[in-house]
Structure 1
């Protein structure tokens, strides 16, 4: 499943308020009372496995908006990972989740897409957000897998 290409979601929490200069988006604030969901896709070499391993690496060259948020000096971390193998549904999920989220971070992660954002936030716990997402995925009959970040620790490519 993880060697496949596909779409993924990162459920992100911040330990305290974080202000991040996110390249062209400028300085953005992230709140510890919110649960953030980033929707991305991995259709390049290495598929889902390589992309998620990269996101879990704290020190890296910043290429995507999400890299700025997950950089080592920030107190934000990935709590849960949801993968949808073999399907290019990044835009669909970003639009759908934006409708049920409490808000979006405008322009975040959507430079190559027509939707408003690929990062949205919720005022509920991470586990409640995961339940909401699973409900939407089941409704759409998408096969998915929910993984903790520890799944990727110490495992070689």
Structure 2
């Protein structure tokens, strides 16, 4: 059995997943990594919710009919998702960066500019899983506290050792 020396143990968490994604590859990949998957009809279709980090992801496949975003109810669905989940991400599944995918990305960015929705273009299931886990881990306790502490130490180190900061201190 191969071991990874010098790495921290794999992070595991509970994820609430829409039952619409029960047979999706991402659900199987998350389960294979030994995350606790709980399927629910009570969450938005296409949603992954990480309760311990307070993040929610909505998977959107541009193969869905998007020519008329307003008429299809997509914009309302995303608006509801953003209102329900304070820390929300839209996973825009675009295996190719073609004209259609870029137009969809542009429409969504324009429509949700200024909201708490962040849009992540992803090319495959591995990127979907990696992106969700990276964000969820970085925003969950105790990892968020550790990151905050490391950022404070880095900031202090930069201020103490930066010639620019020395010059500014001398000027003031």
TM-score (norm 1): 0.28
Q: 1 or 2, which has the higher helix percentage?
A: 2
TM-score (norm 2): 0.26
